[in-house]
Amino acid sequence: MNKTIENRFFGIFIQGGIASMCVDVLRKKYDLGSSKRKDPLLGEWQEFYFNELSQKIKEAEGALEFDDNALFSEIENNIEEIKNNPKELDKYCATLLAPFAEFLRMVRPIKHRKKEWQKRMEDAELLLKSNNDEDKEFAEELKLRAKEEEERQKEIEMGYWEITQMATKCPPTENFDTYLAERHVEAVFNYIMHILDNYSIRLDWVLAQNGIDLMRLQEECSIYLLEDRLMPRYTHIAGTTEIARKVFGSLREQQGASKTEEVASDNQPPQHERIINKEELRNYFNNEFCGVKPSIVNYFKYLIDDLKIDRNGKDAACIAKLIYESKHMTNKPNTFSAWHRAFCNLADFPYVEYRPNKINTDNIKENFKYLL
């Protein structure tokens, strides 16, 4: 098995690689550590992060020049070599995700660190059942810490998301060369995220061709490269969205067949599960918002994550209004009422009729600022 190109590519993301160096600089520059910094960086530390490490990033940029066709040719050859050995194939597929684990924990902590604060909440619930007042007091403290950690993780992820947006948007009042020179690390980080995004799409396609579901593999490894499958993003590989749908539809059928016994043995009573019509909803947003164009963040996946949270009719109306007034919306219905009803249907939210001028979005605007 040949892993020459793989190892060179993965070196971008492992500890000490250019991706982790970018994170080190940006974490200090924008205060994106696990807890907020109380004092500014001074003296030697400021020199190290903002000058020495930034210079090392410039010197390491050659690592970002690689042939992705050669990379995936190597991956496909390795899969072909071991495809008749299920255990070896499972191990190998896991190695295609493992190098990104630590990097993703830092820049996309919401999902990658969710189990940590959930475990604290579970521990707190157990302590609350105790008859000991000290245990109950400690439990309340644990719950507070878990909640604070969850909120901090959201701030961190949004911070890195805003950096990728910043790196590609030069205000018309500023000189582009000057703007880029002052944000060189941000631009490199944005390009790295673009590389990771392209790798995720292509890996998903290659694995699907071999009957392997990346979405399922991600859950097994707790490493999430890909949030959603938006068919337009596969057209450069598949040729058309119809072919892409056919390939992934076939994969779902295979995975469904393998789960027949598991489903049959589930004695839990059936529960309603909300289903978001992502493909139809995507048609209401421009390509830039959905990350179809190069070097642009896929904001649509952030929206889908927020829509997965159960909400009442009032909140659904607020989100619908934010979208309707957003510059990212396309194929906009003639009236808000028509859009509101269509949105609730696509997001599987309860529909409660509201007049647009009676909808106050102030309470949720902060959580959906990527729509503004």
pLDDT for 265: 33
Cβ–Cβ under 8 Å, residues 228 and 285: no
Q: How many CA atoms lie within 13 A of 324 on its CB side?
A: 22
pLDDT band at 181 (very low <50, low <70, confident <90, very high): confident
Instruction: Render pLDDT for 295-348 as a digit per residue (tens, 0 to 9).
Output: 456 788 888 878 888 888 999 999 999 999 998 998 899 999 999 999 999 999
- In DSSP terms, which residues pair with 329 in a beta bridge? 285
C-alpha dihedral (131, 132, 133, 136), degrees to nearest 10: -80
With 0-12 / 13-18 / 19 or more C-beta atoms within 10 angstroms meaning exposed / middle / buried, residue 309 is exposed
**Tell me: the pLDDT tens digits for 182-225?**
888 998 999 999 899 999 999 999 999 999 999 999 999 999 99
Q: What is the pLDDT of residue 119?
A: 74
So what's the pLDDT on residue 174?
A: 78
Higher pLDDT, 273 or 248: 248
Q: pTM of this prediction?
A: 0.68
Residue 313 makes CB contacts below 8 A (sequence gap 6+) with: 344, 349, 350, 351, 352
What 3-state class would DSSP assign to 40?
Answer: coil
Task: Report pLDDT for 168.
Answer: 60
Listed in sequence order, the residues at least 6 apart from 186 whose beta carbon sits closer than 8 Å to its beta carbon are 26, 163, 164, 166, 167
pLDDT surpasses 80 at 108: yes
Rounded to whole angstroms, the Cα distance separating 360 from 372 reads 15
Give residue 42's pLDDT band: very low, low, confident or very high (50, 70, 90): confident
What pLDDT is recorded for position 335? 92
Instruction: Give yes or no for a contact between 146 and 102, defined as CB atoms under 8 angstroms apart.
Output: no
Q: What share of the chain is helix, strand, coil (3-state, %, to 5)?
A: 65, 0, 30
Across 360-365, average pLDDT: 84
Contact 289, 233 (CB under 8 A): no
- pLDDT at 256 (0 to 100): 67
Q: How far apart are the C-alpha atoms of 76 and 109, rounded to whole Å? A: 30
- Of residues 231 and 266, which shows the higher confidence score? 231
From CA 152, how far away is CA 130, in angstroms rounded?
29
What is 278-325 written as a DSSP string? HHHHHTTB-TTTTT-STT---HHHHHHHHHTS---HHHHHHHHHHHHT
Non-local (6+) Cβ contacts of 94 within 8 A are 217, 220, 221
